[in-house]
Amino acid sequence: MSHLAAAAGTPSVVVFGPTDPDVWGPRGENVYTVRKSWGESEIFESTAEDLPGQPDSEVVKRIRELFPG
């Protein structure tokens, strides 16, 4: 979906995990990619209660760049 959004010129923030956004990420003037890596223990040993209540600061930063004001 992110590639279709980028092709249509839709402002997008795309979050990547273990895959490389330089290889697999969509391209476009209004596309920002954020890469967040988690360790194996963080993925397999976490529960729903462990998830942060606040969005990642890098994601928020990119959204604000796309939609100032």
11: amino acid identity, one letter = P
Instruction: Look at residue 18 in the predicted model and tell me its pLDDT.
Output: 79
Q: Return d(Cα 43, Cα 9) in angstroms, integer.
A: 33
**45 token code pair:** 């040993």
pLDDT per residue as tens digits for the range 27-68: 998 898 888 766 666 656 666 566 555 567 777 787 788 777
CB–CB of 36/13 below 8 Å?
Answer: no
Q: Where are the domains of the chain?
A: 2-66
Whole-structure pTM value: 0.59
pLDDT per residue as tens digits for the range 18-35: 788 899 999 998 898 888
pLDDT per residue as tens digits for the range 4-17: 999 999 998 888 88
Instruction: Look at residue 49 in the predicted model and tell me its pLDDT.
Output: 63
